[in-house]
């Protein structure tokens, strides 16, 4: 088995800063923007994105967490996992631009589950997607609006994102089991 690091802490920081500027540009500021991280690593990435938006524009963006465990279509196939808490900012998501934030974008099924979860919470004006790493291999017609890095991978490879808040280091690693 081989591993290679494709992003280090500096690469991740630069990618998040760039995505923050893209969010601001596309939405003409951040007045109506809410960031919802998908646990576990999407949550700290969302917080870092909010910090980068504040640094770039001075605007404070609410950050929450959206657990999608019970909305997944693969619950019978995968081992049971405990849901994480969903935390929606105080003003809710109605009439807001919700930016879903995740670490790795692969088949699109996690994001489909997130869209289903959002419908139970409220009605946003728009939903956008920010991902740190997009590895391709989509199974559903979903695309990311903001991408830290596109990573061409084989289906056999695995992509791991490490964030300091959870893993005590920042890195994006591709693991090839062959």
Give the right CATH number for 9-70+87-152 from 3.20.20.70, 3.30.70.600, 3.40.50.2020, 1.10.10.10.
3.40.50.2020
- Run of H or E including 174: strand 171-176
The residue behind tokens 């690091």 is 5
Q: What is the pTM of this model?
A: 0.95
pLDDT of residue 78: 66
Between CA 54 and CA 48 the distance in angstroms is 10
Contact 177, 1 (CB under 8 A): yes
| CA pair distance 133, 152, nearest whole angstrom | 10
Judging by beta carbons within 10 Å of its beta carbon (0-12, 13-18, 19+), is residue 171 exposed, middle or buried? middle
Interatomic CA distance for residues 53 and 119, integer angstroms: 26
The tens-digit pLDDT sequence of the chain (178 residues) is 899 999 999 999 999 999 999 999 999 999 999 999 999 899 999 999 999 999 999 999 999 999 998 887 766 666 666 778 899 999 999 999 999 999 999 999 999 999 999 999 999 999 999 999 999 999 999 999 999 999 999 999 999 999 999 999 999 999 998 7
pLDDT at site 56:
98
C-alpha torsion 37→39→45→47, nearest 10:
60
């Amino acid at each position: 088995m081989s591993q290679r690091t494709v992003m280090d802490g500096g690469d991740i920081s630069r990618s998040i800063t760039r995505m923050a500027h893209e969010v601001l540009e596309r939405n003409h500021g951040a007045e109506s923007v809410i960031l919802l991280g998908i646990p576990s690593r999407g949550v700290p990435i969302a917080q870092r994105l909010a910090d980068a938006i504040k640094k770039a524009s001075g605007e404070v963006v609410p950050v929450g967490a959206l657990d999608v465990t019970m909305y997944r279509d693969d619950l019978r196939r995968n081992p049971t996992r405990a849901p994480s808490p969903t935390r929606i900012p105080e003003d809710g998501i109605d009439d807001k631009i919700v930016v879903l934030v995740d670490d790795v974008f692969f088949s699109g099924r996690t994001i489909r589950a997130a869209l289903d979860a959002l419908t139970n919470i409220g009605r946003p004006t728009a939903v956008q997607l920010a991902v740190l790493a997009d590895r391709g291999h989509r199974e559903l017609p979903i695309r990311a609006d903001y991408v830290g890095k596109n990573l061409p991978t084989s289906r056999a490879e695995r992509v791991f994102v490490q964030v300091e808040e959870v893993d005590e280091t920042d890195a994006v690693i591709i693991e090839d089991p062959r």
